[in-house]
Amino acid sequence: MLKIIIPTIMLIPLTWMSKPNMIWINTTTYGLLISLISLFYLNQPNDNTLNSSLMFFSDSLSAPLLALTTWLLPLMLMASQHHLSKEPLTRKKLYISMLILLQLFLIMTFTASELIFFYILFEATLIPTLIIITRWGSQTERLNAGLYFLFYTLMGSLPLLVALLYIHNFMGSLNFLMIQYWIQPLPNSWSNIFLWLACMMAFMVKMPLYGLHLWLPKAHVEAPIAGSMVLAAVLLKLGGYGMMRITTLLNPLTNFMAYPFMMLSLWGMIMTSSICLRQTDLKSLIAYSSVSHMALVIVAVLIQTPWSYMGATALMIAHGLTSSMLFCLANSNYERIHSRTMILARGLQTLLPLMAAWWLLASLTNLALPPTINLIGELFVVMSSFSWSNITIILMGINIIITALYSLYMLITTQRGKYSHHIKNIKPSFTRENALMTLHLLPLLLLSLNPKIILGPIY
């Protein structure tokens, strides 16, 4: 794992010592090279994990997430070039260093093999994200957004620390590889219920679960583009990844404890999808759509069947790429008209046809069109929840319809129809933006040819 970690650490001196006109080029190029290295980890042995060292390992669940994280760094850098172009050089380098530091912590989180190490890095990812949102966001609400983000996550994760230390004392070790063999079933008692809650609430807040999702629209909307991309694509998946790891310790209590959270997720995904239909703010729409997709992942992880785990993993990767792409598209709008209101930039298809193609593909993947991996994820989750309880098919069906409704609403409002009058003065699409969209879309479409890689450890 050091072959990814040390190059990522070395990216920081690279930014600080490059010539001013080369910082973006250098960091993006070397970021892409590092993501190539992480692709090697996708070649997993069938029934085991790749153990790199005492502290790091990668299995079929963490390898696709690792690849997503490392792939996203060059994309974030490309997306940030425009809004940072007017800042002084030191601030640009600080921003890039924050992104690289966040990347480093995320890589180590996804490959950590001991649960307390995972916890420390999980919390450590909060600090660069907080700095990016609060320092480089554009509106005054960003201060509140940073506070909500930090405190919601910390409130959930401090009980997790206590619970992990308790389990450490109880079981002797928290190394993920060893603990698979030492698990004892968790009987149903009040203290075990609190233990379950303490373990899961941190990830529920991170996902986010419907009742605790208040930080997400604030943080996503106020963050600069790189912050939104990394939040939507990777940080939410930290919650899903953590949940999948920690539910191995919590059987069979999960069957009993999962009911309230299942109800919240099932109802919440319909609620947040419906709110998307009434949004005027483009980024807010995409943020609520993230909550809705992640609610599906929560349902899948709580059901704990093989198909649902496969669906959850595929959905996490698919949603990461799709949501990040949608944020990039929204940002390209924002950079031109400096407002996130949807109706101010309508009818863009006549002016920017290639960008309209990317909008179309992004909206189609967002509504889970076959044969994309979004569909594979959602379909597996819907089928496994049907087998868990027949009635959920109604809720899932309604959710799919509403998802299609708001994705097409977003597409039609921004692309089709008659353009608004002031739109004639916008700049045409940059090659950088088109490259950004392609780099998001190409893995998404290519993975539909071989979804085995992202289907997780159960396949």
Decide whether 2 or 391 has the Cβ nearer to another protein.
Answer: 2
Is 146 a binder of another protein (CB under 8 A)?
yes
Q: Which amino acid is at 161?
A: L
Q: Which residue has the tokens 């679960």?
A: 209
Q: CB 37: neighbour CB atoms within 10 A?
A: 14
Q: Which amino acid is at 122?
A: F
Which region, left, alpha or beta, applies to residue 80 given φ > 0 means left and ψ of -120 to 50 means alpha?
Answer: alpha
Q: Which of 32, 42, 158, 405 binds another protein (CB under 8 A)?
A: 158
Q: Is the peptide bond before 88 cis (omega within 30 degrees of 0)?
A: no
Stretch in the footprint of another protein (CB under 8 A) among 122-130, 351-359, 431-439, 444-452 = 122-130
| Per-position DSSP letters for 315-331, written without gaps between them | HHHHHHHHHHHHHHHHH
Decide whether 146 or 208 has the Cβ nearer to another protein.
Answer: 146
SS3 content of the chain, % helix, strand, coil (to 5): 75, 0, 20
Decide whether 105 or 176 has the Cβ nearer to another protein.
Answer: 105
> Running DSSP on this structure, what letter comes out for residue 249?
T
78 contact partners, CB below 8 Å, separation of at least 6: 24, 28, 432, 435, 436, 439
Stretch in the footprint of another protein (CB under 8 A) among 29-37, 55-63, 150-158, 409-417 = 150-158
Q: Which of 161, 337, 357, 445 binds another protein (CB under 8 A)?
A: 161
Cα–Cα distance measured from residue 112 to residue 55, given in angstroms and rounded to the nearest whole number: 6
Cα–Cα distance measured from residue 60 to residue 41, given in angstroms and rounded to the nearest whole number: 9
Stretch in the footprint of another protein (CB under 8 A) among 8-16, 151-159, 260-268, 428-436 = 151-159
Stretch in the footprint of another protein (CB under 8 A) among 13-21, 153-161, 223-231, 332-340 = 153-161
Stretch in the footprint of another protein (CB under 8 A) among 147-155, 178-186, 273-281, 434-442 = 147-155
The answer to whether residues 282 and 330 touch, using CB atoms and an 8 Å cutoff, is yes
Decide whether 135 or 432 has the Cβ nearer to another protein.
Answer: 135
Q: Which of 2, 36, 143, 446 binds another protein (CB under 8 A)?
A: 143
Q: Which of 32, 124, 193, 383 binds another protein (CB under 8 A)?
A: 124
Q: Which residue has the tokens 């930039």?
A: 345
Record the tokens describing residue 232, joined without a space: 């939507």
**Three-state secondary structure call for residue 281:** strand
Q: Which of 5, 32, 127, 344 binds another protein (CB under 8 A)?
A: 127
Is 169 a binder of another protein (CB under 8 A)?
yes
Decide whether 90 or 390 has the Cβ nearer to another protein.
Answer: 90
Cα–Cα distance measured from residue 221 to residue 138, given in angstroms and rounded to the nearest whole number: 10
Neighbour-count burial of 112, counting CB atoms closer than 10 A to its CB (0-12 exposed, 13-18 middle, 19+ buried): buried
Q: Which of 7, 159, 211, 347 binds another protein (CB under 8 A)?
A: 159
Decide whether 71 or 196 has the Cβ nearer to another protein.
Answer: 196
Decide whether 182 or 194 has the Cβ nearer to another protein.
Answer: 194
Report in angstroms how near the CB of residue 367 gets to another protein at its nearest: 38
Segment 62-91, which members bind another protein (CB under 8 A)? 90
Binding site for another protein (CB under 8 A): 90, 94, 105, 119-121, 123-124, 126-127, 131, 134-135, 143, 146-147, 150-151, 154-155, 158-159, 161-162, 165-166, 168-169, 191, 194, 198
